[in-house]
Structure 1
Amino acid sequence: MTRVKEAVEVDVPLHTAYNQWTQFEEFPNFMEGVEDVRQIDDSHNHWTTKIGGVRREFDTEIVDQLPDERITWRTVNGDTQQKGTVSFRRVDDAHTRVELVMDVEPRGAVEKAADLTGTIDRRVKGDMRRFKDYIENRGGETGGWRGRIRPGG
């Protein structure tokens, strides 16, 4: 399993950064290779990705969610095996540090080659930079209620 870590400081308040990240359907706007994320319920999402010409579908489950602090997930079925945590830390009233730590198990020749050449690491780092650009250029999170706070979360 490969571990990828990346952090960015975004020029938005903590609550804004957290709320945007919980708008899972918006991920294709800043995550390379993510074609679609559909929220199934408060703790499950269905993903469709296409990376290196290989399409994968899988479901994730949010296993821990503390509003304005962290979201932890894992895959529960499908073509991909991964788990991770994204955490949010207030820097000051207008800035937030967003840190992603993700473990990915490459499957298939394309994913294993991407892992060996560092492509997975570069892709995640690029996704975090694009998240920063996406939310800062918008001036706030997108609308919607999904994913914000799950029952018991």
Structure 2
Amino acid sequence: MSTVKEAVDVEVPIRVAYGQWTQFAEFPAFMEGVEEVRQLDDRHNHWTTSIGGVRREFDTEIVDQLPDDRITWRSVAGDTQQRGSVRFEQIDDTHTRVELTMEIEPTGVVEKGADALGVIDRRVKGDLRRFKDYVETNGGSTGWRGRIRPGDAGSPL
């Protein structure tokens, strides 16, 4: 697995940055190659991506979520293997550091080549820059404030 770790400082309070990140359906507005994210329930999302002409669909499960602190996920179904965590750190009352760590298992010649050339790292860095612009321009959302703990059974929306 390849590991990507990037961070960006955003000029919004931690509650706004975290809240915006919980609006998964809005990810296509700032994540390159993400066509759709459909929230299935509090813990599960269905993703459709198209990167380098390769279309993928997969499901993720949120395994740990603590408001204004972190969201940790893993893929559970489909043709993409990944896991990751996004953490939120309050810098001051109006600034937040957003740190994204992902482990991705590239499959196929195109994805392995893109990984070797650093394309995945650059894409994540670009996604975080676009998130910064998006949340600072749109003001963000209070988002979902629920808590998910490892081992929770989950609950309906």
User: How high is the TM-score relative to the length of structure 1?
Assistant: 0.94
Alignment partner of 1:85 is 2:85: yes
Which residue of structure 2 aligns with residue 104 of structure 1?
104
* Cα shift readout 1:82-141 (whole Å, capped 9, x = no counterpart): 000000000000000000010000011111111011000100000000000111111x21
> Is the 1:42–1:150 Cα contact (8 Å) retained in structure 2?
no
Which residue of structure 2 aligns with residue 52 of structure 1?
52
Equivalent positions of 1:3-14 (< 5 A) are 3-14=3-14
Aligned structure 1 segments of 4 or more residues deviating by more than 2 angstroms: 150-153
Q: Gapped runs of 5+ residues in structure 2? A: 153-157
Which residue of structure 2 aligns with residue 141 of structure 1?
140
Aligned length in residues: 150
Q: Gapped runs of 5+ residues in structure 1? A: none
Query: Which residue type is aligned with residue 24 of structure 1?
Result: F
Cα 1:148–1:36 change in 2 (3 A) is: farther
Which residue of structure 2 aligns with residue 128 of structure 1?
128
The alignment's C-alpha RMSD in Å is 1.4
Report the Cα distance in structure 2 between the residues aligned to 1:124 and 1:148, rounded to whole angstroms. 25
Query: Which residue type is aligned with residue 80 of structure 2?
Result: T
Aligned identity (percent) is: 69
Pairwise CA distance, 1:148: 3.6
Query: Which residue type is aligned with residue 141 of structure 1?
Result: G
